[in-house]
Chain A
Amino acid sequence: MKTIKYLMLICLMFGITLIPMVAAASGAPAGKKVITPEEGIAALEATPYEKKFGAPIMPGGKIVKTEDTAAFYEISQPHEKVVEFYKEVLKVYGDEKFRDWKDQIYIEDLGGAKWHSIGIMKGDGEKTTVKITRDNMTWVFSTLIIRFAGVFFVLCVLWVLLNLNSFCMKKFFPDTKKAAAK
């Protein structure tokens, strides 16, 4: 019975940690205008790209689609060349993580840049699509939740093992009882 209660408690704790995640993932905050792709493209073309997202764009790149938090551009260069370009250009930032995923090279900014990630898609031959995602709080919240839940998880594993250890001690080493009797 007691174990069930504690399991419920752990579930509750995890549930609490999920609240901000749900809030963050529930879309744009109320009242914030959602930009249509057409409006976004028009806005991007009217202002320098770097000013809009703060991310470098390869010369010759053409914006094909834009969303509220992300923009896509195409460039007539092979994938490797685009990756090389970004490796060179992003040296000035210093806090970038490059990850080789199945469908893209994913570059994540851990510094203070306005953009959060740059995804260089694979498999388009001589044409490469690049996705630039703006910095967003969803990622921040997710990080926090993983951390908070992770701490609970680590300590819960420890808790389970300590209980197990204490059970074994009581069962197999009777000196525990004697010590308690003192």
Chain B
Amino acid sequence: MSLNEIWDLLIGTLKTTGFPMLFAAGGWKYVIMWAFGCFFLYLAIVKDFEPLLLLPIGFGIFVVNFPNTPLFGFAENGQPELLMFFYKYGILWEVIPCLIFLGLGAMTDFEPLISNPKMLLIGAGAQLGVFVTFTGTILAGFTIKEAASVGIIGGADGPTTIYITAKLAPHLLSANTLAAYSYMSLVPVIQAPIMRMMTSDKERLIKMKIGRRCSHTELVLFPLICGGIIALMVPAVMPLMGMLMFGNLMRVSGVVKRLTETASNQLMDIVTIFLGLSVGASMQAHVFLTYKPMLVFGLGLVDFIVCTMGGILTVKIINIFATNKINPLIGNSGVSAIPMAPRLSQLIGQQYDKKNFLLMHAMAACLAGSIGSPAAAGMLISMFE
């Protein structure tokens, strides 16, 4: 072997490593993305903010932003690389959001909402943020479809955000999804001051009546009624809502316990791993470090804040008319951040009165949000697709 051959071999090997690209022009972008990834890992591991999602997302961001890694592209024969495979078939084909809704349905008890249907109005009121975001997004130079996809972030509904963005603005998928999940995990930080600011001491002490118990028949009828209405009125979102209602039917019927357990545990866990990794991986430096994803984060935050305010405001309006007053502290749960938002309502409520239990009422509002948010998304899809 001649010296030239050895030299060529060494240079060739060096070129396959990440170093040449890292030190080339634009290499700094990788470093920024590592910091981003590590920040999410920090939130998950140290701060314990939504670790089930932020940990795989953070790692996805970190690992994909190394040059020459065969993770998020296509091989020479056109075959998708590992994380691209998850992304393409799981997210772009909209399988994962629907499976998450299936698991969510199997885990969720809709009884608080069925026994107190007026909570549905809170879920609708919490869609207020879209007014600000949609307009702001358009004024910032986004297209109508992009604005629609960004507008849904405030509902704090990750799967719906993925679903609508994959349909209307797939290039914003990573930014929108990350914004939605980030704000979901930051519920205590973002919502708590708004809740305190918008409620008086007297309002925070309102005790709500415990809802009635529903019969088995009523529980079984709910997914059929709700699914039927959504299918008739906003069919575009039926893949999501259909799965949610199917999951819930499995749960309440009580005859398929094994399937319910699988959907709510193992399947949910598997899907969450794929979702987190592929969403994180979609945040490649050259895609993410542009002005639009950055704006999405800013506008998404405004959206989330206004949605929270919308929920609280709706409760206050209902209270003008209702004889049985609602504690406005549950208004924040109109966004569908389950279970963080209801947990926060309970926590703040108990800071003022240890004997005030708001959790189940807040859960009802949150469930209303989880129906309202896909309904809103369905309307946008039918308008713009």
A contact set with B: CB distance below 8 Å: 2, 5-6, 8-9, 12-13, 20, 95, 110-112, 137, 140-141, 143-144, 146-148, 150-159, 161-163, 165-166, 169, 173, 175-176, 179-180, 182
Contacts and interface: CB of A to CB of B under 8 A. Distances in A.
Contacts of A20: 131
B120 interface: yes
Interface in B221-241: 221-222, 225-226, 229-230, 233-234
Contacts, number: 138
A163 to B, nearest CB: 6
Contacts of A163: 117
Contacts of A159: 117-118, 120-121
B117 A147 contact: no
A182 B212 CA distance: 10
Contacts of B217: 169, 173, 175
Contact of A161 (B118, B141, B225, B383): B225
B130 interface: yes
B215 A173 contact: yes
A144 B317 contact: no
Given A144-B130, A180-B212, 13 more contacts: A9-B321, A137-B138, A140-B144, A154-B229, A155-B120, A155-B123, A155-B124, A157-B229, A161-B229, A162-B114, A165-B222, A169-B218, A176-B212
What's the dominant secondary structure at chain B's contact region? helix
Chain B, interface size category, equals 35 or more
A26 to B, nearest CB: 16
B215 A147 contact: no
Interface of B: 114-115, 117-118, 120-121, 123-125, 127-128, 130-131, 134-135, 138, 141-145, 212-218, 221-222, 225-226, 229-230, 233-234, 314, 317-318, 320-323, 368, 371-372, 375-376, 379-380, 383-384
A148 B128 contact: yes
B218 A140 contact: no
Nearest to A8: B321
Contacts of A9: 121, 317-318, 320-321
Contacts of B121: 9, 13, 152, 155-156, 159
A137 B144 CA distance: 11
A152 B230 CA distance: 13
Contacts of A162: 114, 117, 120, 222, 225
A180 B230 CA distance: 29
B134 A176 contact: no
Contacts of B214: 166, 169, 176, 179
18 contacts: A5-B322, A6-B321, A9-B318, A137-B138, A144-B130, A147-B376, A148-B128, A154-B229, A155-B124, A157-B233, A158-B371, A159-B120, A161-B229, A162-B117, A165-B222, A165-B225, A169-B214, A169-B218
B150 to A, nearest CB: 13
Contact of A158 (B226, B314, B384): B226
Given A110-B384, A155-B372, A144 B118 contact: no
B138 A140 contact: yes
A161 B225 CA distance: 8
B215 A175 contact: yes
A139 B214 CA distance: 44
A144 B154 CA distance: 14
B215 A179 contact: yes
B120 A144 contact: no
Contacts of B320: 9
A12 B318 CA distance: 10
Contacts of B127: 147-148, 151
A101 to B, nearest CB: 17
A151 B334 CA distance: 13
A138 to B, nearest CB: 12
B135 A144 contact: yes
A156 B130 contact: no
A179 B211 CA distance: 12
